[in-house]
Amino acid sequence: MTLSEFLRKIIEQHGPIPSVRVSSAQAKGRAKQYSYWGAVRYEIRINRRGNVSNCPLERATSDRRSQRLARDDALRIADDESRIFCSCLGELSRMDQARVLDALSRERGYPAAGAINEYLAPFRSAGKDWIAKMLAQNSEPSKTGKPTHE
């Protein structure tokens, strides 16, 4: 079973995965000259094309002028609400999918954590570069026929 198939199966069985990321906020007037950032709640779900995607549940608020402070807010939300931090927007790359599975395997109380740990165990035994080795062994053909790049 490929990485994408496994993650889709987890989502189908247990529902969308709560996530959080830092997004730039839309500013008005003179504030448009500066970047504003906010921690935004997302969920990882299967989109209409059948791919795993990180979708927003709310708009970014202009809480912070610093991306670092917004990231701190996002990490705090992740801890408080049992969400995983996922920095990508839209469809997840295979690398992002591997990171999501890794984060879920460590999430206390996640119903599929045992199954995820079983799936990842052979790859984790390869050492610290286990995600790269997993992606190399677990390659999937491109839907467009072109080589995929992570």
pLDDT confidence of residue 113: 87
pTM over the 0.75 mark: yes
105-136 residue pLDDT tens:
888 778 888 889 888 888 888 777 888 877 87
Q: Which two tokens stand for residue 34?
A: 């500066």
- Tell me: pLDDT of 150 over 70: no
